[in-house]
Chains A and B, each alone.
Chain A
Amino acid sequence: MGKRVAICAVAQIKNEGDLWHARFQNMLLECFESVMQQTGVTFDMEKGIRNVVTCSDDVFDARTISNNGMTDVVGAHLRGEEKMAQESLNGLGYAMASILSGHDDAILFMGHMKESQGESRRMVSNLSFDPFYCRPLGLDNMNMNALQARAYGQRSGVQEEHLARIVVRSRKNAKKNPYARENEEIDEAKVMSSPLLADPLRELHYYPITDWAFGMLLCCEERAKEFSKNPVWITGFANCMDSYFPGDREYVSNFSLKKASERAYKMAGIKDPKKDIQIFELCDHAAYQLPMWAEGIGIVDEGKGGAWVDKGGMDKFHVNLSGGMLNGNPFLLGGAARAIECFYQLRGEAGDRQVDGVKKALAHGTYGAAGQHQAVVIMEA
């Protein structure tokens, strides 16, 4: 294993369904000020932040190169500013690479998304498909998730009851997370009677529309103590892109997630994730994805997702104690939210959710339709 990269501080606002009273600049500014205050980092060109990585989505922000609206509030004025127009976990990987290369000592990593702003989240995801062959058919992420959910259910034995349990558990866990979106408490019967969006996906199987922003300070190992007494370390990162055209992919193969996690494990020196990692935060946009991604990262045998849920695997392996994506994080930022939860757990600051003796944690992020693109970060105390 090579050098480690430190996460010295994280900041976030509470996940909300509709932050009608703030624009994204206001959301980011809170996070920015919190990171500055926690770390005392400066923008000195020798000793401080020379480069800021931001994460945002052009369509949700309704502006091309949408980072143009955020440079002021993230301190990026008159220095490097680079946008990750991808799942936020890749921004973490990118910042890590900038530091490991020696180009930067410290990187401020900021992200925001207001899903409430667009008239339809589905219209936005429709735009991510090929404009000539797929968009006109009405393909969007929800369609793709339904195709995948059905295929996965058949293969893994994940049934309606399992999905209901996953949703109810997510909301229960989120109650212990002060930054989680506040959702109504529900029981399994309510999940199973919620409207079908695209069979087998029901409304409550799907993550709710959410606004959120975050910030992090990453730093090289040599200087981490300048900004934090107890930094958390990134020791592994990898991502993998599967085919863009839906017809080119096997929806339940977990191809890209297996590749990404294998490479992240190798970098972090992890032999057996079941034994070596204590916290797993998975990017479950829809309920069926939680056991499916658990298979992909290798903590559940392939095709055994249903039985794993039955046997209490989600609690045994400490999966999504934050409430997960399913409780509500904006689409682009699910991975950053997962990493932030891992950060709290590794520092022993996870409050009522805290697990004892957490040494290693896995944060997962996925983007593109039905897990096309996958990223995995391994973090250590």
Chain B
Amino acid sequence: MAEYWGVKVGDIFNTMPERFREEGARDVDASFGYDIAGEGKWKITVKGGTLKVEKIDDLSGCASIMLCDGETFVGVNTGKVDSVNAFTSGKVKVEGDFGAFGKTAKMFKKFVIGRKEMSTKDYILDMFGSLVSRFQPQNAKDLNATITYQIGGEGGGVWTATIKDGTCELKEGHVEKPTVRLEVNEASDWVDVMLGKTDPFSLLSAGRAAIAGETALALKLGEIFAKYQPPSSTDGEPEQELIVLKKTIAVNQRFATGPVMGRFLNALKEKKIFGTKCPTCGRIQLPAREVCADCRVRADEWVEVGPKGQVRYMEYVYYASPDPLTGETRETPYGMLNILLDGCGGNDTFAHLVRRDQLDLIKGGHYEISGTRVRPVWSDKRVGSIFDIKYFEIDE
């Protein structure tokens, strides 16, 4: 008895009792026949939630009989062959009550391929068995071509893929004048290429493979067909759930503001904006800070600036950063500004938000050109925070 993907036709029938799902067979009271070409005939009888499986030549009394070859039967049962394709292509035929036959699909758990080393032949079968499902029509637009794979050595064979109007069909055997023909002397070499263990160019340069016809098309095969994925050792078993853990890290903090930051925030309560002026270079930093970073001296002269100014930089934000204090996402779009407040110079700008309905009216400036004039809109309740200013609006 032949093996396909390491599975014999008999394995499918022999495991039916353990794969039988009573709940899927509750309303079924019938016998079903299977005529597997070259393998034999089987009859299963379902009645009152019980199952009987017989290898028997007499299939009389069956509601339906399935006819196909061994490879297709194993392929459909193991998920290696698409069952709908198998029907529509005529590889599977059903005699009798087709509706009744459809119920058999619900009666069994999926057959699981046992863990075993795959042979070269297994790989070759799996590679060509999955070729159509790996076809990428978006990468084969306007492509009409026939591609023949001529694989020699043990496990080899000849297959031809026909690509036309965004579809792909695979047949065994040669066709006349294929667009391109790949010839590989040893099937095991082709398996290595498909598994990424060897690159095709070294095979070509070693004379172990050849391309006839349109070489350019052969080079595009990697795009036309998705990469072959060998069945994993857990193939057929339910995938392990990959757990995602959600954690929030939070440690409450109590920030001292110190004499400089504290004075700056206190001034905001009085609707005033203060910067600290460097005694050496004269720059005014906003928000006020302890030192002039450039001159490395304490900047302890306080200068009131603004509150009006001109926009230096602006942006539109479409994807909001969540508010760090509330976790809430801001309404978008919103605009952020860097404002050169009156009295400040150079790069010493102050960052804030812009009134949302004025987003489109704001123009940034630079050293030569003044940006839009803006003024702060103060919060009614001011507590000594950056949001004592709600936002800046156009100063008209």
Considering the complex, give the chain A residue whose CB is closest to the CB of B258. A23
Partner of A127, one of B249, B291, B294, B296: B249
Given contacts A22-B258, A73-B290, contact A59 B296 (CB under 8 A): no
Which A326-380 residues sit within 8 Å CB-CB of chain B? none
Q: Mark A299-334, 1 if CB is under 8 A from B, else 0.
A: 000000000000000000000000000000000000
Tell me whether B251 and A119 are in contact (CB under 8 A).
yes
Tell me whether A19 and B256 are in contact (CB under 8 A).
yes
Given contacts A43-B296, A75-B296, contact A59 B251 (CB under 8 A): yes
CA gap between A75 and B290 in the complex, in Å: 12
Q: How many residues of A contact B (CB 8 A)?
A: 29
Q: Which residues of A contact B232 (CB under 8 A)?
A: none
Considering the complex, give the chain B residue whose CB is closest to the CB of A114. B256
Q: Which residues of B contact A114 (CB under 8 A)?
A: 256
Partner of A119, one of B254, B256, B291: B254
Tell me whether B296 and A62 are in contact (CB under 8 A).
no
Interchain nearest-CB distance for A82 vs B (Å): 17
Q: Is B252 an interface residue (CB 8 A)?
A: yes
Among B252, B253, B261, residue most surrounded by chain A Cβ atoms (within 10 Å): B253
CA gap between A62 and B254 in the complex, in Å: 10
Q: Mark A4-44, 1 if CB is under 8 A from B, else 0.
A: 00000000000000011111011001000000100000010
CA gap between A26 and B290 in the complex, in Å: 7
Q: Which residues of A contact B245 (CB under 8 A)?
A: 131-132
Q: Mark A69-98, 1 if CB is under 8 A from B, else 0.
A: 001110101100000000000000000000
Which B243-302 residues sit within 8 Å CB-CB of chain A? 245, 247, 249, 251-261, 289-291, 293-294, 296, 298
CA gap between A77 and B258 in the complex, in Å: 21
Which A109-157 residues sit within 8 Å CB-CB of chain B? 114, 116-120, 123-124, 127, 131-132
Partner of B251, one of A20, A73, A75, A118: A118
Tell me whether A71 and B293 are in contact (CB under 8 A).
yes
Q: Which residues of A contact B290 (CB under 8 A)?
A: 25-26, 29, 72-73
Q: Which residues of B contact A21 (CB under 8 A)?
A: 256, 258-259
Q: How large is the interface on B (under 10, 10 to 19, 20 to 34, 35 or more residues)?
A: 20 to 34
Partner of A77, one of B254, B260, B296, B298: B296
Tell me whether B291 and A73 are in contact (CB under 8 A).
yes
Interchain nearest-CB distance for A130 vs B (Å): 12
CA gap between A114 and B259 in the complex, in Å: 16
Tell me whether B255 and A117 are in contact (CB under 8 A).
yes
CA gap between A116 and B254 in the complex, in Å: 8
Tell me whether A123 and B251 are in contact (CB under 8 A).
yes
Tell me whether B256 and A77 are in contact (CB under 8 A).
no
Tell me whether B255 and A23 are in contact (CB under 8 A).
yes
CA gap between A62 and B259 in the complex, in Å: 20
Given contacts A21-B258, A73-B291, A131-B247, contact A119 B296 (CB under 8 A): no
CA gap between A25 and B276 in the complex, in Å: 15
Tell me whether B258 and A117 are in contact (CB under 8 A).
no
Q: Which residues of B contact A71 (CB under 8 A)?
A: 293
Given contacts A43-B296, A72-B289, contact A119 B257 (CB under 8 A): no
Considering the complex, give the chain A residue whose CB is closest to the CB of B297. A33
Q: Which residues of B contact A25 (CB under 8 A)?
A: 258, 260, 289-290
CA gap between A25 and B264 in the complex, in Å: 15
Q: Which residues of A contact B252 (CB under 8 A)?
A: 118-120
Interchain nearest-CB distance for A120 vs B (Å): 7
Considering the complex, give the chain B residue whose CB is closest to the CB of A25. B290
Q: Which residues of A contact B293 (CB under 8 A)?
A: 71-72, 77
Q: Which residues of A contact B254 (CB under 8 A)?
A: 116-117, 119
Which A216-247 residues sit within 8 Å CB-CB of chain B? none
CA gap between A244 and B243 in the complex, in Å: 24
Q: Which residues of A contact B259 (CB under 8 A)?
A: 21-22, 26
Q: Which residues of A contact B253 (CB under 8 A)?
A: 62, 117-119
The 9 tightest CB contacts between A and B, nearest first, are A119-B252, A77-B293, A23-B258, A72-B293, A26-B258, A62-B253, A123-B251, A23-B256, A22-B258
Name 4 extra pairs, CB < 8 A, besides A117-B256, A119-B254: A72-B290, A117-B254, A117-B255, A120-B252
Q: Which residues of chain B have a CB within 8 Å of any CB of chain A?
A: 245, 247, 249, 251-261, 289-291, 293-294, 296, 298
Query: Can you list 7 A-B pairs, Cβ within 8 angstroms, ordered by A?
Result: A22-B258, A23-B257, A26-B258, A26-B259, A29-B290, A62-B255, A118-B253
